[in-house]
Amino acid sequence: MRKVLLIVIIFTSWCTFAQEAFTPEKILGYSIGKQFTRHDQVIHYFNELSKSYPNQVKKISYGHTYENRELFICILASEANLKRIETIRQNHMNNAPQEDVALVWLSYNVHGNESSGTEAAMQTAYDLLTKNKNLLENTVVIMDPCLNPDGRDRYVNFYYQYGNQPFESNRISAEHNEPWPGGRPNHYLFDLNRDWAWLTQIESQTRIPLYNSWLPHVHVDFHEQGINEPYYFPPAAEPYHEVITDWQRAFQKDIGKNHAKYFDKASWLYFSKEIFDLLYPSYGDTYPTYNGSIGMTYEQGGSGRAGLSVITQVGDTLTLMDRVTHHVTTGISTVEVSSEKSKKLISEYQAFCKNKNYKYKSYVLDGNAPNISSLLTLLDQHEIKYSFGIENSAVKGFDFDQRVTINYKLKANDIVVSTKQLKGTLVNVLFEPLTKLSDSLTYDITAWSLPYAYGIHAIASEQELLGKLGSLSSSDQLDKAPPTSCFAYILPWNSMTHARCLTALQKNNFNVYFNEQDFEIEGKAFKKGSLIILRGENKRSDFDEKVNNIAQEYGVSLESVASGFVDKGLDLGSSSVKKIAKQNIGLLIGENASSLSVGEVWHYFEQDLHHTVQLIFEADLSDALNSLDVLFIPEGYFDFSSKEYLGTWIENGGKLIVMGSSVNAFTSLEGYGIKYKENATDTTSDSKEINYALSEREEISNTLIGAIYSCELDNSHPLSFGYSEHYFTLKLNADVYELKSEDIIKVKDKNAHVTGFVGANVRSKQEGSLTVGVHAYGQGSVIYFIDNPLFRGFWENGKLQIANAIFFVNQN
């Protein structure tokens, strides 16, 4: 017994000594806010913090970035609460009556160059364990010090390279002007603060399971804005989504008032109720809100231009220390209010979990749709429950394609997603066919409905439908022994899974063909664009085994045919059956390019298509073209007027693919076939006088903010292979173009608007507007994607168009 007591005394003494020995200055070698901390030092800091406070801090690694930097959280709690931390979590997730601790999650540096966030996280953690430790008696704080380590280290390394010693406060100095692409995005140049719902990036994918295992009462996303802006904190601006509860609104006001108390005392400027709204579901404030949290954004002036010190437009000097101090203040204030209102937070969250009374009780999804597996994967990631409908059950509901109420009978494989579940609010927001706007002044896109984004026929029903457990049934032939004497294997073409399979076949040196016409053979029907692997064109001993192994790997159906003679259509030796040449692909990058668009294309190739792409700076373009078959022009502000060599390359058979806003660069050039549609972009209003206070609202009459439109397709064209008669596009701006050659996809008619904000002055001008078009240019072609289908990587049904452009267009 004496030995045990002695060990306890020694351990207690050691912990006390370790805590007294720990200070940020001793660990880092400088005071927080005096310089920037690289991510490896941040990891070291929190490792040492957890060693010094082992009974109050628990560090949990949840993954690694694309550049292999660690992602982690730290749980901060009182000793008593950390001992029972799993019980606290279980009580919360089960809405237990004995739940008695509020959970606060603080997220920092989702934008890498908003660099004060991580510095503030380190100081806030220390302060919570020392001078503010009383706040942890009835709250547990979960802290993610850096959601975007790759971007943050990109910024910090830039600053260490160009920063003056000592710092230079003049904004003209290089240390205040990051080079392209800046530290804001992650490795693939994605904005991670727009990815919470879509989960396209590894940082989001690995964080969400951990977040879903806690679903905190309060979530704060710490940001920075322009150097001349004061601090922003809630309440948020309108529009609030209509599902946001009165309690969530009220708590935002309470938080704002508490922050204001501290800012007023220090004479710091701030603002609220402006700019940052709560609508778009993929932010670090809205996604938590739709999962029951009080989700909030805090914005400190600074960002990538601030450095360690900068002189603002009014002559004040803003330092990193100032920025850190402000974030620490609001962080501690958030925990303080959460502690004071812990009982109310708990009771209101439990009520949120129980009260799911939305107009649409069930969504029915076509379980045979090409992209259904991708959508179900997303639902699984969000822990959204679904079931399989009972075949032939009758349902009345809103048809997403026809946009009218119909009577419908469920088919085999149809999926039922109910809003009567824990994630029901999120289901309602992500699936609703029409998003209600309480205010048209909004910070982001206003439409995103998943059935349109994934191209899946859906019914929204006011009935609560019953379902059953099961799995998707399939007609795939994967369990059959591979034939040894077939004439050819044929794969369908209607999803990115098939595009990835094509890439794999070409990597394994198979010659792959596609058909330009529908055909039937041996009683089997095949659509345009089906992939054909001919034995006679692939003379190799492992032909059957390898083709079947690749099909198995990608989970695609694989049909074998014994002859090239077809029953309907053209034989497999017809000139209509074309070889898919391997493509050397380049992507133009640099300061004239949108880093976001570059990232979208880059990510598409490496993570969606599993295909290589060369990143090419503009200065190297003329030399690079000789080795390229395809060149992507991302969105941006390019000038090609002096690059005649680009036209020569296309004339000789090159394929140019132009994305979004970069179409503008070709409207004034000869031979490229594109121009603005006359009068369509004239959005000037009548010459009436406009009240100054209303000028911003008048301006939005000329805008189109991420709205969904119904389109008509030319299904005979290779760009449309794999698509049904329905396609819905996400339009991101109001520009309308005319093309001399082929309009492959265009807005259907004057009634084509589906959902999302469209200004009054541009609404009537979208009828028949071009979405995707091809212009022949000598032996090559130019493909224009007016509406960028790779926008933020979440418009799944648009991705196959890019694969079609790469593999099918301009094949001889």
> For each successive 10 residues of the chain (812 residues), what is the average pLDDT?
48 58 95 98 98 98 98 98 98 97 98 98 98 97 98 98 93 96 98 98 98 98 97 95 96 98 98 94 98 98 96 96 98 98 98 95 96 97 96 95 96 95 98 85 89 98 88 54 80 97 98 96 95 96 96 94 95 95 97 98 98 97 97 97 95 97 95 85 47 56 90 94 93 91 85 92 89 95 97 98 95 69
Residue 178: both structure tokens together = 């990051």
| H or E stretch at 372 | helix 372-381
pLDDT at site 384:
98
Bond from prior residue into 239 cis (ω within 30 degrees of 0): yes
What's the CA gap between 204 and 380, in Å, rounded? Answer: 14
What's the CA gap between 81 and 87, in Å, rounded? Answer: 9
Q: Mind giving me the DSSP string for 237-275?
A: EEEEPTTS-HHHHHHHHHHHHHHHHHHHHHT--EE-SSS
DSSP 45: H
DSSP 650: H
Residue 316: both structure tokens together = 């004040």
Using CB atoms within 10 Å of the CB of residue 377, give its burial: 0 to 12 exposed, 13 to 18 middle, 19+ buried: exposed
Contacts of 95 (CB under 8 A, 6+ apart): 350, 353, 354
Contacts of 146 (CB under 8 A, 6+ apart): 39, 42, 71, 108, 109, 117, 118, 121, 152
For β-strands 614-617 and 585-589, DSSP reports them as parallel
Provide Rg for the chain, Cα atoms: 29
Between helices 320-340 and 342-354, what is the axis angle to 10°? Answer: 70
Residue holding tokens 């807005």? 747
For β-strands 317-319 and 309-311, DSSP reports them as antiparallel
Q: Is 442 within 8 Å of 278 (Cβ atoms)?
A: no
pLDDT at site 7:
46
For β-strands 585-589 and 630-633, DSSP reports them as parallel
The tens digit of pLDDT for each residue in 552-588 reads 999 999 999 999 999 999 999 999 999 999 999 999 9
What's the CA gap between 687 and 233, in Å, rounded? Answer: 38
Contacts of 599 (CB under 8 A, 6+ apart): 181, 185, 188, 189, 190
Q: Is 12 within 8 Å of 4 (Cβ atoms)?
A: no
Its pTM surpasses 0.85: yes
pLDDT at site 2:
52
| Helix locations, 432-518, DSSP H | 450-454, 496-507
Residue 300: both structure tokens together = 């400190």
pLDDT at site 1:
53
Residue 46: both structure tokens together = 């929190």
pLDDT at site 683:
46
pLDDT at site 10:
45
pLDDT at site 685:
45
pLDDT at site 8:
45
| Helix locations, 668-792, DSSP H | 695-699, 760-763
Amino acid at 726: H
* Distance between start and end Cα atoms, the chain: 87
pLDDT at site 457:
97
Instruction: With CA atoms as reference, report the closest residue to 563 among 671, 490, 471.
Output: 490
Q: Is 151 within 8 Å of 189 (Cβ atoms)?
A: no
pLDDT at site 698:
60
Alpha carbon distances (Å) from 773 to 296, 471, 673, 787: 42, 39, 10, 11
Q: What angle do CA 144, 145, 149 make, to 5 degrees?
A: 105
Residue 367: both structure tokens together = 């379980």
Computed from CA positions of residues 122, 125, 129, 134, in that sequence, does the dihedral angle turn out positive or negative?
positive
Please tell me whether residue 309 adopts helix, strand or coil conformation: strand
What's the CA gap between 310 and 620, in Å, rounded? Answer: 35
What's the CA gap between 546 and 562, in Å, rounded? Answer: 18
What's the CA gap between 302 and 284, in Å, rounded? Answer: 19
